[in-house]
Amino acid sequence: MKELSIAEFIAKNHINHTFWCINPNSGDTGGLLKDDWATWDDAKYNMMKKTLWSDSKTGKFVGLDHVIPLGDNGETVTACYR
């Protein structure tokens, strides 16, 4: 049996709302930002991008907030369910 990375497991089982630290000094994952606090760590981002919840109609990433959308290419959970 092939071993799955945690990101593959999350995507395969549709466990979309796990939490990934963004700050580079995070003790568990090292975070999604590089040490300059402005640049994405592309390797980590590409690994976990497939685990993010996205709207099947729009392709936008869905955040859990009902007011503030998740980033520039994101939407609120309320907008997703309209």
* pLDDT at res. 43: 87
pLDDT reported for residue 6: 76
- Report pLDDT for 35: 92
Tell me, rounded to whole angstroms, the distance of Cα 10 from its chain centroid. 11
Instruction: Verify that 61 and 29 share a domain, yes or no.
Output: no
Q: Is the pLDDT of residue 36 over 90?
A: yes
In angstroms, the CA 41 to CA 7 distance is: 15
One domain for residues 36 and 63: no
Q: Provide the percentage of residues in the chain whose pLDDT is more than 70.
A: 89
Number of structural domains the chain divides into: 2
Residue corresponding to tokens 């395969």 = 12
Does the pTM of the predicted model rise above 0.85?
Answer: no
Query: What is the per-residue pLDDT across 8-29, written as a single tens digit (0 to 9) for each?
Result: 887 788 776 666 677 888 887 7
| Statement to judge: residues 10 and 25 lie in one domain | yes
Between CA 5 and CA 64 the distance in angstroms is 25
